[in-house]
Amino acid sequence: MTDEKPSNFIRDIIDEELAAGKHSQIVTRFPPEPNGFLHIGHAFAIGVSYGIAQDYKGRFHLRFDDTNPAKEETKYVEAIKEDLKWLGADWGENLFFTSDYFQQLFDWACLLIEEGKAYVDDLTPEQMREYRGSLTEPGKNSPFRDRSAEENLELFKQMANGDFDEGQKVLRAKIDMAHPNMNMRDPVLYRILKAHHHRTGDKWKIYPSYDFAHGQGDAIEGITHSLCSLEFEYHRPLYNWFIENLPVPHTPRQIEFARLNVEYIVTSKRKLLQLVNENHVHGWDDPRMPTVAGLRRRGYTPDAIKEFCERAGVAKRERVNEYALLEYCLRQDLEDKAIRRMAVLDPLKVVIENFPEETEYYEGPNHPADEGRGVRKVPLTREIYIERDDFMEDPPKKFFRLGPGREVRLRYACYITCTDVIKDADGNILELRATFDPESRGGSTPDGRKVKGTIHWVSATDNVEIEARHYEQLFTKADPDDIEEGQTFLDNLNPESETTLRCFGEPELANAQAEEPIQFERKGYYVLDTDSKDGNLVFNRSVGLRDSWGKKQGK
């Protein structure tokens, strides 16, 4: 990774404004809704906003947009805070909630009413859609648009007192029902919601819309640059209209950038919630989910995610990033960080007939490129397990692993030669017999002969049994929404996205720590799963040693 920060159009704007003396300090924010878990797209957005605040020695705010109590919970607030901390974002003392500003927003709504810029509307949601018009036809004014300021103010206060049912009335801005931007056609400022709020309890019966709340929240906090994803570009005129028509203490600037899109991934909160609620996955932190919690459980690191986001880059136009790039960034990060251990995932027993009855121990480095990380002791016994695909009964010329009469090196230990193949009545291989060269202890011999093949192994009698969970993409198509008529994105779910193996690892794996990256030598990178208990070790494969998914897709 490099410390040099790439230039982009947002930084160019900030540089110009700083040169013109417009700001004394850059202030950015991340405004999540506490109604779900963060995903990789949010991680990208956090990286943009927090990265700019850091690089310009500014201030970063975390503000929860808690304006919809029907869907929000404290558990999501805590989960989001934990995810941000894990990603490395530090908001310090700058933790805010839109609910902190409910009274101020209410007062400003009353001011708009008094100035004839807002009105209480009695239209039903269906009627509002009908009156709104279309992209090619202007809307038409509500019959309730010309109420007096006094009547509107009284009705609005009655709404706040809970005198009306949900959906019976809303407060709308009075802008222009013929405006070419649909967001400017008298948008809703407040709606009635008689739901318990996780912070304010039952105090409020009305709640502000996101469009009305987030710009004013920015202004109250002194945000200089409100960095949003590209879909908010068409909301910007409304954002600016509120700022211009209210006595806000600061004037933030909204800038939009393209979201992070990745192959084989959905980031729609509605779809992620559907996956969880319909049990297509095992929860928000399922290692197949693109949530920060899921990526973390799978073994992704903050550095790998940050590197991926930086490589994806900040842009003005939507694009889709290859999933292989995400795996590449993780693989590069784990190469340096992961300790090495041996595990056999598809075991085939080998009996070394001339090996002593007692156990011998060999040293294996914890990391081949870093002697300072020490070594561990690996037990070798008369019976061992090797990978089944490390043996072929009739091997081709360029197969350098084990075969009848062939000699290979057991990693860190010695040379063995296969002497016999034991099969069942159906011809299935049950186990192998072998001999070892006592002179080859340590992996070389006095005569200096070379052995082309080196394989990993685990003692069959001195090991730990483990459960290895392997994951492929949750969807079979690069675009999960690539569907035929009558289908949904769920029709593209990959039935083989999760497989479980019962296998064996060297004893040292019993000391694995949470979130400690481990390379199962020659197999891939793994991490201890939270389901692990004493006597039942569970490891998730984070990524293979090579781009197996890219190869499978013909890339």
Return the active site residues. Answer: 33, 259, 269
Side chain identity, residue 146:
D
Give alpha helix (H) positions in 148-268: 149-161, 210-221, 236-245
Hunting for tokens 């897709």 — which residue is that?
A: 553
Spatial distance between the Cα atoms of 152 and 139, rounded to a whole number of angstroms: 22
In sequence order, which residues have a C-beta less than 8 Å from that of residue 442 and are 6 or more positions away? 362, 413, 414
At residue 275, the 3 state secondary structure works out as helix
CA separation, residue 4 to residues 7, 58, 159, 321 (Å): 9, 18, 53, 22
DSSP state string for 91-121: -TT-EEEGGGGHHHHHHHHHHHHHTTSEEEE
- 154: tokens are 């009284």
Q: Report helix angle 102-114 to 149-161, nearest 10.
A: 160
Closest to 344 in 3D by CA, of 296, 391, 392: 391
Contact 543, 311 (CB under 8 A): no
- The residue with tokens 């948008």 is 187
How far lies 464's CA from each of 188, 225, 458, 470, 503, in Å?
61, 54, 9, 18, 9
- The CA distances from residue 54 to 19, 62, 97, 216, 518, in Å, are 18, 14, 22, 24, 32
Looking only at the bridges linking them, the beta strands covering 537-544 and 464-471 are: parallel
| Full DSSP string of 280-312 | SSSSTT-TTS-BHHHHHHHT--HHHHHHHHHHH
**What residues form DSSP beta bridges with 525?**
519, 543
Q: Residues 48, 89: contact at Cβ < 8 Å?
A: no
User: β-strand 339-341 against 518-520: which pairing, if any?
Assistant: parallel
58, amino acid identity: G
CB-based contacts of 427: which residues, under 8 Å, 6+ apart?
A: none
- Sheet-wide strand order for 206-208: 118-121, 170-173, 188-192, 206-208
In the block, residue with structure tokens 């340590």: 442
